[in-house]
């Protein structure tokens, strides 16, 4: 009887220890979708934003290349952090900070005056009617 109780206690303890690490990984939320704080999910979203910026003409090739280099550096840092099999809270926070900086840079580059020539952006507003352009 004592052996069964001890075994049951150990199983409960092992299960209890596994839950925080699974929750900390943040792989999926309750709906089965990637958790918004999931680093891989954020990296993929940011790369998609860069690709969309190139496609729409909002990003030049140089801007896109620079942003993709920054994303690659974050991925390398993540791989180095995960090399020991775990990602600590401090490491996760560091990666999130890097992703935040890159996200702001993506937004800034997409909304600056630099655009690709020959690409018509569907996000630009047309000129107001009644506005006259003057030429000299």
Three-state DSSP class for residue 28: strand
> Does residue 9 form part of some domain?
no
Q: Mind listing the pLDDT tens digit for each residue in 27-77?
A: 555 566 655 568 999 999 999 999 999 999 999 999 999 999 999 999 999
What pTM, to 2 d.p., does this model score?
A: 0.62
On whether residue 64 sits in a domain, the answer given is: yes
* Environment class of 108 (CB within 10 Å of its CB; exposed 0-12, middle 13-18, buried 19+): exposed
**Cα dihedral value 6, 8, 10, 13, nearest 10:** -140
Residue 87 lies in a domain: yes
Distance separating alpha carbons of residues 13 and 25, to the nearest angstrom = 19
**Does residue 44 lie in a domain region?**
no
pLDDT at site 114: 82
Q: End-to-end distance of the chain based on CA atoms, in angstroms?
A: 99
Q: Report which DSSP code applies to 75.
A: H
Query: What pLDDT is recorded for position 103?
Result: 97
In a domain, 72, yes or no: yes
Domain coverage including residue 90: 60-112
């Amino acid at each position: 009887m004592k052996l069964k109780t001890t075994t049951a206690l150990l199983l409960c303890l092992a299960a209890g220890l596994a839950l925080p690490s699974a929750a900390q990984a943040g792989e999926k939320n309750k709906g089965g979708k990637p958790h918004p704080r999931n680093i891989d999910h954020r990296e993929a979203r940011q790369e998609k934003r860069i690709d969309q910026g190139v496609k729409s003409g909002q990003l030049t090739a140089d801007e896109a290349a620079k942003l993709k280099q920054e994303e690659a550096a974050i991925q390398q840092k993540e791989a180095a952090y995960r090399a020991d099999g775990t990602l600590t809270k401090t490491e996760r926070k560091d990666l999130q900070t890097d992703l935040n900086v890159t996200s702001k840079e993506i937004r800034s580059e997409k909304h600056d005056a630099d655009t690709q020539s020959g690409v018509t952006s569907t996000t630009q507003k047309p000129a107001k009617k009644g506005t006259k352009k003057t030429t000299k």
